[in-house]
Amino acid sequence: MTITVKTFARLADAAAALASERGARFMAGGTLVMRAVNEADPAIETIVRSTDPSFLNVAVSSGRVELGGGVTMAAILAERELAFLHPVARVVGSPALREAATVGGNLFATRGDFATALLALDATVMLAGGFGQRELQLDEFISRREHGASLVLAVAFKRPPAEALRFAKVTRVHPKGMSVLSIAAQLPLASGRVTGARIAYAGMAPTPLRAKAAERALEGRALDAAGIAPALAVAADGTSPADDAIASAWWRREILPIHLRRLLLGANYA
Amino acid sequence: MKTPIQIRLNGEDVAAFADGGANLLDVLRESIGDLSVKGGCWQGTCGTCTVLIDGAPRLSCVTLAESCAGKSIETVAGLRRGPDLHPLQNAFMERFAAQCGYCTPGMLMAAKALLDRNPNPTRENVVEAIAGNICRCTGYEPIIEAVLDAARGDSRRRA
């Protein structure tokens, strides 16, 4: 089947085309969509693109960060103000992949390491579609994401304190391997006690997800071996990992609390 | 429907017609005839199709050809200058860094991207630079040593 490529100067026009055409798929860096095109995915009849410069915006202030949906992992690694995200962006694929892989695209990736970090950062997603523009919490977006339904204009989140975001990617092949699982955690402390922890996993379900049971179990606890024990006991609650070529579901459940423990106690995965 | 695109390939302006949704790899090989760039997985996984687009390493198999219009593309065919091989090519020969050779075009371009940005890489930098390029013959060590040799200017052999 011949595919039509439509390129728009404005994101709003791209979103309108995406909403109005059956079989249209938005393409940013291409690392997901081009795979499907190469495999002759019959669901893709039209590729919609945009050259709108606002899609590449990086806005960092003392309190807030906003990243355009087309910002690449390489662009994040080049931005000193986003150093807290570098350990995450650095483990997304290879150098060549990171030149193309985008923030918006990662929200649709199966493992979605960057999306997992954004979940821990309590990010919101700005979307455009046939409904106009709207903002959604990222976990809500991920739970019902559908290819082609809407265009990710940007993500935004409160800038975390230095070293507040912790991230671990567990792979069998280094330095670049598919993740067995990934964990991101933001652990605000008040008087040495965790308050309002946000923990997210990749590889433990069909999409990245929040570890709500572990978050609740950490509330008011100290980040020491005794304090984190209840969270480790419920680490796998709510997960549904798969058996695949990288690891079995059983193995993922077994190693999850081990790596969560290391991350909570401050192990350096960078 | 075919779309005309114009690119600067290894320093020369070339034009081609790309099928709708065609990837850069297929256009380079089938429309333009640059067979130096290889295809392995067409999934962005193996790295053998690595080319430089405006100086940055990119996986040509998952790059929409139309998105490259007006851009500068370097493939391994453009490394050699007249009778002289590129220092990386010399170093790969001296270190026996190629066996079947299928990964070599991608390895060379990933390494060139590294050296263009960082002429004095550490071993760790080299490992990271070629982390997305799969080789099933050499075990990577000769490749890493060859890139480090080229960076140090240790490759002297001429074609």
pLDDT per residue as tens digits for the range A200-250? 999 999 999 999 999 999 999 999 999 999 999 999 999 999 999 999 999
Supply the pLDDT for residue B158.
41
* Every domain range in chain B assigned CATH 3.10.20.30: 2-76
Q: What average pLDDT does this structure show over A115-137?
A: 93
Give yes or no for residue B84 having a pLDDT over 60. yes
Q: What are the tens digits of pLDDT across the range B103-138?
A: 999 999 999 999 999 999 999 999 999 999 999 987
What is the band of A173 on the pLDDT scale with cuts at 50, 70, 90?
Answer: confident
* A27–B62 C-beta distance less than 8 A: no
What is the band of A270 on the pLDDT scale with cuts at 50, 70, 90?
Answer: low
Put simply, whether B75 touches A (Cβ < 8 Å) is no
- Lowest average pLDDT, out of A94-98, A140-144, B18-22, goes to A140-144
* Angle, CA A161 vertex, CA A155 and CA A165 arms, to 5°: 65
Supply the pTM of this predicted model.
0.94
What is the band of A147 on the pLDDT scale with cuts at 50, 70, 90?
Answer: low
Distance from CA of A51 to the nearest CA of B (A): 10
* A176–B132 C-beta distance less than 8 A: yes
Identify whether the C-beta of residue B98 lies closer than 8 Å to the C-beta of residue B104.
yes
Residues of chain B in contact with residue A176, where contact means CB-CB under 8 angstroms, are 131-132
Supply the pLDDT for residue A77.
97
Spatial distance between the Cα atoms of A168 and A260, rounded to a whole number of angstroms: 8
Supply the pLDDT for residue A64.
96
Give yes or no for residue B159 having a pLDDT over 80. no
Put simply, whether B47 touches A (Cβ < 8 Å) is yes
Residues of chain A in contact with residue B110, where contact means CB-CB under 8 angstroms, are 94-96
Residue among A268, A129, A176 nearest B44 (CA): A176
Token pair for residue A215? 């978050």
Q: What average pLDDT does this structure show over A38-64?
A: 95
By Cβ distance, the residue of A3, A44, A49 closest to B67 is: A49
CATH topology of domain B2-76: Ubiquitin-like (UB roll) (3.10.20)
Give long-range contacts, CB 8 A cutoff, 24+ apart: B75-79: B75/B9, B75/B10, B75/B28, B75/B34, B75/B36, B75/B37, B75/B51, B75/B105, B75/B109, B76/B36, B76/B37, B76/B104, B76/B105, B76/B108, B76/B109, B77/B10, B77/B34, B77/B36, B77/B37, B78/B9, B78/B10, B78/B11, B79/B108, B79/B112
Supply the pLDDT for residue A214.
98
List the CATH code of the domain at B87-152. Answer: 1.10.150.120
What is the band of A148 on the pLDDT scale with cuts at 50, 70, 90?
Answer: low
Which A residues in the span 98-127 are in contact with B, Cβ-Cβ below 8 Å? 99-100
Supply the pLDDT for residue A129.
84
Alpha-carbon separation of residue A248 from A180, A209, A245, A253, B72 (angstroms): 9, 18, 8, 9, 44
Task: Give the mean pLDDT of chain A.
Answer: 93
What is the band of A162 on the pLDDT scale with cuts at 50, 70, 90?
Answer: confident
Residue among B126, B106, B137 nearest B25 (CA): B106
Identify whether the C-beta of residue A115 lies closer than 8 Å to the C-beta of residue A109.
yes
Residue among A144, A94, A110 nearest A241 (CA): A110
Q: What average pLDDT does this structure show over B72-87?
A: 94
More confident residue, A162 or B92: B92
Put simply, whether B39 touches A (Cβ < 8 Å) is no
* Every domain range in chain B assigned CATH 1.10.150.120: 87-152
Give yes or no for residue A145 having a pLDDT over 80. no
Q: How far is CA A24 from the centre of its chain?
A: 23
Q: What are the tens digits of pLDDT across the range B19-67?
A: 999 999 999 999 999 999 999 999 999 999 999 999 999 999 999 999 9
* A4–B1 C-beta distance less than 8 A: yes
Distance from CA of A252 to the nearest CA of B (A): 23
More confident residue, A37 or A143: A37
* B132–A94 C-beta distance less than 8 A: yes
Put simply, whether A95 touches B (Cβ < 8 Å) is yes
